[in-house]
Each structure stands twice: as C-alpha cells, then as structure tokens.
Amino acid sequence: MTVPPERDAYGEMMLAVLEGEANVFEIVERDDGLIGASVMGPKLYLAPFRRWPAHHRQAMGLVRGRTLDCGAGAGRVSLYLQDRGREVVAIDNSPGAIEVCRRRGVRDARLVDFADVDESLGSFDTIVLLGNNFGLFASPTKARRLLRRLRKLTSDDGRILAESRDVSTGPGAAAPWHVEYRQRNIDRGRLPGQIRLRIRFRKIVGPWFDYPMVSPAEMVEILDGTGWRLDRTIDSDDTYVAVIEKT
C-alpha cells in the first residue's frame, strides 16, 4: 500500500533535501531497536550521474527500451534515462518522493506501491530496482509471486536490474548486533538478511516494512521457477547489481 502523507518520513526527508536544507539525516530504525543515521543517503538520492557509485553507472548501460523505475525516490534513475530519450515510468509508494520526482522534471511519476504493479502500467523492457531495492519484494514468497507477474508485464527480452547486499560479508557484517540479528532470523526460519525497518524524520515515524537483502546464491533460489534467472552481477565493495534475464 502507499504511505499516508502524515507518516511519509522518507518523502518529507527528500523534500527537505530538495529545498536545500543542510545536514538532513536519514534515520533508519530496525525492529530489534538498532538505529542508524546517514547523511550520505539523502545526498545520493539527488546526486548527478557522475557522482553515482561505479556499479550503478555501469548498470545504466544495460537498460534497454521502456523502463519501470521502482522505488524511484527522488528520480535520479528516471531523469538520467529520460534525458537520454528513454521512456520511463517512475513509481514509489511515498507521496513526498513522487512530488520530488515531478518537481525535478520526471515526466511520468506515479504513486504506486511496487506490490501493486500490474498491466495498467503497460509493458516494459527493463525493470530497475537500484538502491538495494530488491528489498521491495518484501519476502521470498512475495518475490516469487511478483516475479511471475513481472514476467507477463515485460517483453520477450525483458530484463531486471536489481541491487542487493550479501549481509554476511562487507563493511560492518561482523558487528555483534548484526550477527545476533542474522542468527535471530535463521532461528525463526527467515533469510539471514530479512530486515524489518522503518524511517524516521523529525517527528514523523514511517510504517514498518520488510526489506530482504540477499546474497547472489539466495537470489538464485528465489528466482528458481519464476521464469527468471541470474545472468551475472555487477559488484562493488558493499552491494551488487544483479542482471536478471528471462529463462
């Protein structure tokens, strides 16, 4: 579902960045009480292409045809592709994010939850989920169901470019609070990287949502039987972009 305006912490945060406010932090609360703050996240949402991480820039070279930008945020992917003549539909469940997209010049920005994507949006050649947005699938079960739907909504050579993270490696993975959280997930029969979190901004507290982060091997298991396969990955020292093709 889309986020009610009075709980749209994420959208209000990006509107503050768009309007030039200094020192805007992204506050993320995990369901075990861990709280993290980042000033770089909000800056990246509005960053020009030259300041994107290298694996994001490389992924843009693999976009083809009509594109669905999922979890579009401030619209950086949509704007980049739009400026190069691509037809792009930007979707986000945050009213504030969609307002930012439109104010920045995204021509087709729609308030749509990723789980509600259907034939009303038309057919696409590329689905983009940058910014760890493989997490928008919410869980392996929901991912398999939605992946089958996306297969019907994409062309014969349709492609998904989805970013995720292997939570067992990389910066901070060995921290006790992350190790404990992964083990708690495993004990409950969940993916190690199955995260439940919410965004805070000033006095606004966003709704809780599930956001899985998966290794390439876990992604292969999720894709199995959906009509999609992991073709290759574009790696960085933190996250990776999966290039997912139709079987």
The CATH number of whichever domain residue 234 belongs to comes to 3.40.50.150
Structure confidence at residue 113 (pLDDT): 98
Q: What is the mean pLDDT of residues 105-115?
A: 98
pLDDT at 172 over 90: no
Read off the pLDDT band of 171 (50, 70, 90).
Answer: confident
Q: Phi/psi class of residue 60: alpha, beta or left (left: φ > 0; alpha: ψ in -120 to 50)?
A: alpha
Q: Between residues 23 and 233, which one has the greater pLDDT?
A: 233
Q: Give the residue numbers spanning the domain of 199.
A: 5-246
Provide Rg for the chain, Cα atoms: 17
pTM for this prediction: 0.96
Read off the pLDDT band of 41 (50, 70, 90).
Answer: confident
Q: Between residues 30 and 44, which one has the greater pLDDT?
A: 30
Long-range CB pairs of 213-220 (<8 Å, 24+ gap) are: 213/132, 213/134, 213/135, 213/164, 213/165, 213/166, 213/167, 214/134, 214/164, 214/165, 214/166, 215/164, 215/166, 215/167, 215/168, 216/166, 216/240, 216/242, 218/191, 218/193, 219/134, 219/164
Contact predicate 81/67, CB 8 Å = yes
How confident is the prediction for the chain on average, in pLDDT?
Answer: 96
Structure confidence at residue 178 (pLDDT): 96
pLDDT at 22 over 90: no
Structurally, how many domains does the chain consist of? Answer: 1
